Amino acid sequence: TFMRDAEEIASSRRMNSLTLNRHTEILEILEIPQLMDTCVRNGYYEEALELAAYVRRLERKHASIPVIKGIVDEVRQSSQLMLNQLIQQLRTNIQLPACLRVIGYLRRMDVFTEAELRIRFLQARDAWLQSIQASIPDDDPYFHITKTIEACRVHLFDIITQYRAIFSDEEPLLPPGEHAINESAVFHGWVLQKVSQFLEILDSDLQRGVGSRLESLLGQCMYFGLSFSRVGADFRGQLAPVFQQVTIGTFRKAVQEAVDKFHDEMNSYTLISAPAGLGSTIPVQVPTAQPGTLQPPMVLLEFPPLACFLNNILVAFNDLRLCCPVALAQDVTTSLEEALGKVTKTILAFHRAEEAAFSSREQELFGRCLQVLYPPAQIAQTLGVAPTQLHKYGSLGCVDVNVIKEPLAFLLPVREAPFTPAEEKEPAQESPAPAPAPEMPGPEQGVELRVPEEESSECAGDVLQPDGPLATA
Amino acid sequence: MLHSQEKFYSMAAQIKLLLEIPEKIWSAMEASQYLHATQLYLLCCHLHSLLQLDASSSRYSPILARFPILVRQVAAASHFRSTILHESKSLLKCQAVSDQAVAEALCSIMLLEDSSPRQALADFLLARKSAVQQLLNQPHHGAGIKAHVCSLMELLTTTLYQAHALFYTLPEGMLSDPSLPCSLLFSMLETTTSQDPAGKGIHVLKEEMKLSSWFKSLPPSIVEFQPTLRTLAHPISQDYLRDTLQKWINMCSEDIKSGLITLLVYVKSLKGLAGIRDAVWELLTSESMRQNWDTVCRRLLDKSISFWEDLLRQLFLDRLQTLTKEGFDSISSSSKQLLILALQELEAKSSTSAPSKHTQFEHNMALFLWSESPGDLPPDAAWVSVANRSPFAKSGLSMKAQALTPCVQSFCSALDAKLKAKLDDLLFYLPADSSTPKETRGVQARNSAFDRYADAGTVEELLRDHCVACIQYVLGCAREELQKSCSGITVLPASSTSWAVLEKSCRALFMARLCQSLGELCPHLKQCILGKSGSTENGMRETRSSKKLGKGKAQEVNPMQAKWQEVKEQLLQQSLFAYQIWSSAVITVLVHRFTQTLLLDTAGSILATATNWDEIEIQEETESGSSVTSKIRLPVQPSWYVQCLLFSLCQEVNRVGGHALPKRTLQLLLKTCLAEVLAGYEKLVEEKQEKKGSFPMTQNRALQLLYDLRYLNIVLTAKSEEAKASRSKQDSRIEKVTDFLEANIDPFDLDVFTPHLNSGLNRLVQRTSVLFGLLTGAENQYTNRSNHLSSQEPHNILPLASSQIRFGLLPLSMSSSRKTKSAVKTTENPTQVPPPSVITAEETFRPGSLFRQLATEEGDTATPSLFKLGWLSSMTK
């Protein structure tokens, strides 16, 4: 047994001396995790990558040795930390050179496919952009949208530039398979997503109302879109419908409010108090409309609800004027006509209800009110086509002022003829007069315009009847 | 006297013997020495006859009269025959008895019944058959099936071995092998019945009896008594033996088969089957069973016989088939349920208020793609390089890169888990290590009773077939659902531009993604179809073959590989079909809106879609040679509805994950869209040609339409080679429309306009190349880098009315409006509301030309309103 013991001792001594000789190497290996950790924490990613590569080789060769396994585990954790740190850097306000470095490291780590790397990059940059957007105070819609535009214009542009500097979008040399991931589409999709998000924010802020600053906002948005045309994302075409919608929405709301208010006032209106208005005491004279000027007929002051209605409508017009898309001509006209139609109906109802109590003077007054109802309509339509440069488009299709004026100018007198012989007090709405229609000059776009006007004018004609004999008498 | 005394002693000894024999028989019986018992019994019978105690003459027997006790002895002895017979026969039924014992039992039967060896053979086989029956009818318990089958096999094998040992006689001249004894029965019979006085045979009476004093008095006929057979025991001929045995085997086979079928029903897994098979294999391969088996079979039956092959293998295969079928049937039906459930969940989104995140993701892939989730990076993401990723662990990020939503993932993983369970179960039936070279397996096979893994190929085939059938079934369900949703979409009128159509197409999308990713996300599906060996070998071959793809396909295609390709192709087709449903739904909705707007033919609607035009200064040479600068106006933006269509199309593509959309689908989408759009333009042309519309086709309108059409054509034209063929057809259609539009433009103008129009068009295409990049692809993205923005370029493209006129208000006191409760003082226009406390008209007038004018004329109160006058004058007409 001595021999055996001696052999054992000798071999263990040999092992120990070998260990002693290789002490430094072994120590180095054992210290790798610590070193790696230090590298990662201090941002020496270059060295960290080398260490990781070395450990990976070690793992491949000696995966069965528990000590190596332990080292590998620790290094693995450090690499994970490094990965997270790198991605975290992308989530900050990082400049292009730093971006290039980070992506370089990520590429060398070889943990993402190309598509994944792109997604990861855009996700991280997106997170940063969103953090900026989220920090914009949301109290005032105008302020919010302005700041959002600014942030997007600057930072989104930066991100796109960074992306393009980092990633190449050249078509891969190999023909991709049927289900290959289209890497450039990742970017396109992201830009589209961002633009859609911006449009959503714009829409919601506009819905909340930015008041009279719509035009300046439109300008800013258009500049924003134009600047994006440099990166191939000119989205101005998407802005137009948004602004059109908001404008017409605002206008419709204002008109509706005016109509409601008129209706309310009519309910509490009595003719007795009416003549106290300015109109009856001070005969107001209104000059002919000079070119470039528009004025409301003072006569309307005799009839306060109507005057008030007119004022409200005019206020709405003035708002619209600030940012008035030509495209809305038809919509504005239609909504105005609808409003006028409602107002006329209200007046007619009032007329019928109070008829018995009407004195001739009151009737006259009422009639006069109705006569003057049309000037606002005229103004309205004039405004609808106010952009006179439309005529430069030739017959591209605009609401022709003359065409609208004409029926209005003619209608009242023309209407008289068919109605005078008609039975008295016949409600006009039930028998829409077919006669005027052919007489009217066929306006190019007349269909929509014609119907409500007829109705209104019939009402007018009906009510005017008492005046007919009066005038002839 | 001496003689008579001797005779007396003899008699006495005989009686003594007679009295003792029953006890000896009993003890022999107890020791299961039936042959000895039989011999004793026969001796007893012999004694009876000697003593004239036989029933026929007993009445007159003087001995009986003197020794009445003998009557009982005789009566008692008569029972022995049946007892011994019974015991012997029941011994035959036992399998775990030595050849010797069986031979003795058979001898006993032959001696007692005086039967022939053939009869003995029949007895033996009958007994064994009933033993088989007994085994089969025994109550069994789940785990005992293995033991059951083993004991059956053992019984059969031992029976054959024993038949050989007992009945087989070597042909003349052949030396018997001491390790393989045979014709034991005959040698035993011979020893038992040999009349050789030399006494080399077994004497009935044992030595110890010979020590008794009275033994000497027994007559020699007793002492040397040997039982005799009435007929000579001829050895059984080989032919007879073979036929009988064959018949017996056939008979037993029938019984065993029917019995085992009912038994195997209780085996519920391939693992169990494999366990039974392996146990049988071990039993039959064991030294004792295996050693002389082939020799024995050849001698007895002239052929080698394998009970596994003949009996069990088919039964096992049948059972295996049933099990596999059941397993895959259940997978199929559960998959169907899962599919329907998933679809219901998708639809539930619209009805319930709070849809789950997953469902949302299903509806909007972009949401899924751009939301970071904790599962995106697995904890070892930094360590595992792309090439080393396991196909089973998918990171969230890679799922996003492939546009695989959580719903699809969960369906696939559920299916995959089930397939994996099946596959794992099957692996028990296959050789554990497929890499064993065939040579060593061959060596093993020589030593084993049968090739356990002979069926491996069949089994894998079975699995493959069932797996393919299962996938086909799932595909069928998907197709059915697709057809349902497809018809659901077509049922909806085209005018329902509500997004109901797109909601419906979500189902199609889910299935499209499912089919697209099933092969990818269910790695076990591939394994099931390729088989265990195929997956590794072919993996290598696949890479190799792809490397030398250029060298032609000389390599024969592996059938398994072909099958897998076929399945993949089917999945792909289904996926494309589903995507097609989606794309047609999208196009229906979007293009319908587009066409509606396009065909609106009133001035207002045309105005509503108008864009700002650019003014360009151009220099022209007049006829006199001097150059004239003139301004032309050209469209620089397509109409809103055109941009809206493209943007919505992009949004829809983005919503389904454009980066992973199959190229073919995208191309088809573009192609169909362009065709539909063209149809809209053609309709417009038609209406114009019939002069139906109320608004004429002016030059401006024609220019804008031309611009729109060209732009659409550029964006929507697929750039691949594939689409070129179909392009020519559409090109002619486009040309027709273009011709019509150009006909509405002044030809001289057209000449001047066209280059500018085209350059503007190209610029716009570049400017929107990223925005509409999902449609146009990655090309010409960088070409616009040099394209610098001119600062003079108008930024606003929305035509605004340039009216500077401000409307004046009536001088109205606010008090009147305040009377009403709805005193709306909108925040937007605080400045325009007149000051509340106004009494005189002048004060309310705001600065403005018209009111200034009004103010100046205010004093002229006498003049009646011109308007009124005008009206009155018209009244008088």
**Cβ within 8 Å, pair B795-A225:** yes
What's residue B719's pLDDT? 63
What is the SS3 assignment for B9? helix
Distance of CA A315 to the CA centre of its chain: 24
Burial of A152 (0-12, 13-18, 19+ CB in 10 A): buried
Contacts of B778 in chain A (CB under 8 A): 169-171, 182, 184-185
CB A454 within 8 A of CB A443: no
Q: For B844-865, what is each residue's pLDDT tens digit?
A: 333 334 444 433 443 333 333 3
Q: Which of B867, B869, B876, B877 to mutate to test the interface with A (most CBs of A within 10 A)?
A: B867
Q: Which residue of A79, A116, A327 is in closest CB contact with B383?
A: A79
What's residue B532's pLDDT? 61
Interface of A with B in 180-219 (CB under 8 A): 181-193, 195-196, 209, 211-212, 215, 218-219
What's residue B82's pLDDT? 83
B459 interfacial to chain A (CB closer than 8 Å): no
Pairs from A353-362 (Cβ < 8 Å, separation ≥ 24): A354/A271, A358/A271, A360/A466, A361/A275, A362/A271, A362/A274
Contacts of A261 in chain B (CB under 8 A): 817, 820, 822, 824
What's residue B850's pLDDT? 42
Whether the pLDDT of residue B70 is over 60: the answer is yes
Q: Which residue of B661, B796, B827 is in closest CB contact with A218?
A: B796
CA gap A444, A441 in Å, rounded: 9
Q: For B552-583, what is each residue's pLDDT tens digit?
A: 444 456 777 888 888 888 888 888 888 888 88
CA gap B706, B638 in Å, rounded: 9
Instruction: Compute the count of residue pairs across chains A and B with CB atoms less than 8 Å apart.
Output: 414
CB A89 within 8 A of CB A98: yes
- Can you give the three-state secondary structure of B181-214, one letter per residue? CCCHHHHHHHHHHCCCCCCCCCCCCCHHHHCCHH
* Nearest residue in A to B602, CA atom: A445
**Mean pLDDT score, B688-706:** 77
Interface of A with B in 87-116 (CB under 8 A): 109-113, 115-116
B640 interfacial to chain A (CB closer than 8 Å): yes
Interface of A with B in 248-307 (CB under 8 A): 250, 254, 257, 260-261, 264-265, 268, 278, 282-288, 290, 292-301, 304, 307
**Mean pLDDT score, B482-486:** 77
What is the SS3 assignment for B837? coil
Q: Which of B520, B766, B807, B876 to mutate to test the interface with A (most CBs of A within 10 A)?
A: B807
Q: For A175-212, what is each residue's pLDDT tens digit?
A: 445 456 677 788 888 999 999 999 999 988 888 877 77
CA distance A430 to chain B (A): 24
**Cβ within 8 Å, pair B769-A195:** no
Domain residue ranges of chain A, discontinuous segments joined by +: 2-104, 111-169+183-234, 244-285+292-472
Q: Please state which of the ranges B184-198, B326-340, B731-745 shows the lowest mean pLDDT.
A: B184-198
CB B711 within 8 A of CB B769: no
Contacts of A231 in chain B (CB under 8 A): 770
A232 interfacial to chain B (CB closer than 8 Å): yes
Highest mean pLDDT among B453-462, B496-505, B631-640: B631-640
**Cβ within 8 Å, pair B774-A188:** yes
Q: Which of A49, A156, A170, A188 to mutate to test the interface with B (most CBs of B within 10 A)?
A: A188
**Cβ within 8 Å, pair B397-A112:** yes
What's residue B155's pLDDT? 83
The average confidence (pLDDT) of chain B is 73
Q: Which of B367, B368, B383, B395 to mutate to test the interface with A (most CBs of A within 10 A)?
A: B383
Whether the pLDDT of residue B701 is over 60: the answer is yes
Q: Which residue of A238, A315, A468 is in closest CB contact with B647?
A: A238
**Mean pLDDT score, B780-789:** 48
CA distance B662 to chain A (A): 5
**Mean pLDDT score, B403-410:** 83
| Residue B387: closest CA among A270, A457, A110 | A110
Q: Which tops the pLDDT comparison, B349 or A336? A: A336
What's residue A361's pLDDT? 45
Tell me phi and psi for residue B672, to 5 degrees.
-65, -40
Contacts of B644 in chain A (CB under 8 A): 237-238, 241
What's residue A329's pLDDT? 67
CA gap B608, B139 in Å, rounded: 90
What is the SS3 assignment for B616? strand
B872 interfacial to chain A (CB closer than 8 Å): yes
B695 interfacial to chain A (CB closer than 8 Å): yes
CA gap B81, B149 in Å, rounded: 36
Q: How far is CA B419 from CA A246, A359, B515, in A?
A: 56, 95, 16
Highest mean pLDDT among A402-416, B117-131, B725-739: B117-131
pLDDT category at B375 given cuts 50, 70, 90 is confident
* Cβ neighbours for A206, distance < 8 A, ≥ 6 positions apart: A141, A145, A214, A217, A242, A243, A246
CA distance B389 to chain A (A): 9
Q: For B262-320, what is each residue's pLDDT tens digit?
A: 888 888 888 888 888 888 888 888 777 777 777 778 877 777 777 777 788 888 888 88
**Weakly modelled stretches of chain A, pLDDT under 70:** 169-181, 269-303, 326, 329-330, 333, 337, 341, 344-345, 347-348, 350-473
Q: Which residue of A192, A241, A371 is in closest CB contact with B654?
A: A192
A58 interfacial to chain B (CB closer than 8 Å): no
Q: Which tops the pLDDT comparison, B821 or B688? A: B688
**Cβ within 8 Å, pair A396-B606:** yes
Q: DSSP labels for B428-451?
A: TTS-S-TTS-HHHHHHHHHHSSS-
A122 interfacial to chain B (CB closer than 8 Å): yes
**Cβ within 8 Å, pair A110-B385:** yes
Q: For B150-197, what is each residue's pLDDT tens digit?
A: 888 888 888 888 888 877 777 776 766 766 777 777 777 777 776 655
CA distance B774 to chain A (A): 6
**Cβ within 8 Å, pair A299-B867:** yes
Q: Which residue of B610, B658, B696 is in closest CB contact with A326?
A: B610
B839 interfacial to chain A (CB closer than 8 Å): no
**Cβ within 8 Å, pair A182-B660:** yes
Strand B627-635 relative to strand B613-621: parallel, antiparallel, unpaired? antiparallel
Contacts of A226 in chain B (CB under 8 A): 789, 793, 795
In B597-656 the beta strands, taken as DSSP E runs, fall at 613-621, 627-635
**Cβ within 8 Å, pair B370-A193:** yes
Interface of B with A in 364-423 (CB under 8 A): 366, 369-370, 372, 377, 379-387, 397-398, 400-402
* Nearest residue in B to A332, CA atom: B604
Task: Report the share of chain A in percent with pLDDT over 70.
Answer: 61
CA distance B551 to chain A (A): 17
Whether the pLDDT of residue B696 is over 60: the answer is yes
**Mean pLDDT score, B89-96:** 78
The secondary element (H helix, E strand) that includes residue B30 is helix B2-30
B540 interfacial to chain A (CB closer than 8 Å): no
pTM exceeding the 0.80 threshold for the entire prediction: no
